Structure 1
């Protein structure tokens, strides 16, 4: 398939230049979408001008967060399920070593996003998130970087990046709240969608993730030492964070549904 240049082993100098360029593109993307979010919001949301500076900051930040989530979730879905990049029936090397120009690009762009968002979180700490966000972004950046440098384990990085598909629902929930729409039907429907999406993408998918690692452990063991031990430790940490957030999402949804029922 076009764009799927299979290879294995450590990244070549040309690949390294490519994903570094992709990371820079990711940073530029965040800046552009951040500014565009402000411009578009002024034109189409009258309440934007009345927001405080800190609220505008987070509003625009969630704009490029949503954009990144849509891009990487779509690309991850394509690479894992629709393309033949990780098709084990093809004689093109071990699944653990497979990568392509597109997968390198997506991972590079994600590094750019996580670095941009992390920089904003630290600069405005704790306005945009507490230490749990610093930990999440730090672990994500570290894991993606190791995968790009080594050229290994991209299938697992892409699985985790697909969990970003829940981010638009999280951000829409915040937007509706700040816009005074917490009692609207859209807020309720979005809360249910967030619960279902989180269950599918961040709970059930992680269960499959660990099952896949277990059934392919003969290949996982071939990952270079730091990458191997990272695969054994980072995903469980992310899974625990996802469970904690899922508990909070579930409580919030039940509270909202209960309130809506009593107001009918």
Structure 2
């Protein structure tokens, strides 16, 4: 068996096991110790809480990899199709282990955290990442897709505050919601024009013909599928952010004024 295949398989297995341990053992212990409101949560939210702890850690690890590659890995940035892919493959292997772990948890706790969008997201990503791991193709674009994980800690922090009943008109809740919307837009929506411009440039170049049918289909199909979901999620986040910033605070201000009049 190829040395790199063994390496990536080992990383995927270790990543899968580590995230399972974090979900089932580490997160429950740490959450009970450091989050006073955690123990009062209903069972459904406790499961999602642990799931989001796992996704936050994964996002921080992989996000660090992505920024390093984007800023310092010249081989990947100079040749986006066949550039030296090892660092990107290491990052993708960690993510693949996480995706398998999360898929298992979603299916096992389907009544509590089941979501068809997440199933589609994970399967699309695994399908595309298969070619990155086995053939080393498109490392630049794979890393670019991974940048989306930088918004995950903000999304999860917003959910944590809501779960423990933090006041929605408080400055922290509002600031977290705005930070979530801005981060999500910057790394998932604002990057779409340059991403697809780079994709179009690659498609028009002779190197595109060297990819093979499988990588071509996985790259195009996964990109379109993931970005449709990102646009849908962005629209929901934007509506929620508007509601928190204006509707909720306006209602709170009105109640305050009515209280003073009485």
One fold, TM greater than 0.5? yes
Note if contact 1:213-1:220 (Cα within 8 Å) is conserved in structure 2: no
CA distance in 2, matches of 1:77, 1:220: 26
CA distance in 1, matches of 2:22, 2:83: 31
| Superimposed CA distance per residue, residues 151-177 of structure 1 (whole angstroms, 9 cap, x where no aligned partner) | 101211111111011111111111111
Note if contact 1:191-1:253 (Cα within 8 Å) is conserved in structure 2: yes
The aligned counterpart of 1:21 is: 10
CA distance in 1, matches of 2:167, 2:110: 26
**Shift in Å, 1:28:** 1.9
User: Structure 1 residue 237 and structure 2 residue 222: aligned?
Assistant: no
Note if contact 1:96-1:153 (Cα within 8 Å) is conserved in structure 2: yes
**Shift in Å, 1:83:** 2.5
Aligned to 1:216, the other structure's residue is in SS state: helix
User: Max radius of gyration: which structure?
Assistant: 2
| Superimposed CA distance per residue, residues 39-88 of structure 1 (whole angstroms, 9 cap, x where no aligned partner) | 11111112222222222211111111000011111111111222223242
Aligned to 2:75, the other structure's residue is in SS state: coil
Q: Which moved more, 1:176-185 or 1:14-23?
A: 176-185
Structure 2 unaligned spans of 5+: 254-262
The aligned counterpart of 1:4 is: none
Structure 1 unaligned spans of 5+: 1-11, 89-93
Q: Which moved more, 1:25-34 or 1:141-150?
A: 25-34
The aligned counterpart of 1:167 is: 152
The aligned counterpart of 1:138 is: 123
CA distance in 2, matches of 1:59, 1:235: 28
TM-score, normalization: structure 2?
Answer: 0.89
More helix by share: 2
**Shift in Å, 1:102:** 2.6
CA distance in 2, matches of 1:36, 1:46: 16
Aligned to 2:180, the other structure's residue is in SS state: helix
User: Structure 1 residue 208 and structure 2 residue 197: aligned?
Assistant: no
**Shift in Å, 1:32:** 3.0
TM-score, normalization: structure 1?
Answer: 0.89
Aligned to 2:191, the other structure's residue is in SS state: helix
Query: Cα RMSD (Å) of the superposition?
Result: 1.6
User: Structure 1 residue 254 and structure 2 residue 242: aligned?
Assistant: yes
**Shift in Å, 1:100:** 4.1
Note if contact 2:59-2:153 (Cα within 8 Å) is conserved in structure 1: yes
Distance 1:58 1:96, change over 3 A: same
Counterpart selection for 2:213 from 225, 243, 247: 225
The ranges of structure 1 where at least 4 consecutive aligned residues each deviate by more than 3 angstroms after the TM superposition are: none
**Shift in Å, 1:125:** 1.1
The aligned counterpart of 2:183 is: 197
Counterpart selection for 1:155 from 125, 140, 154: 140
The aligned counterpart of 2:163 is: 178
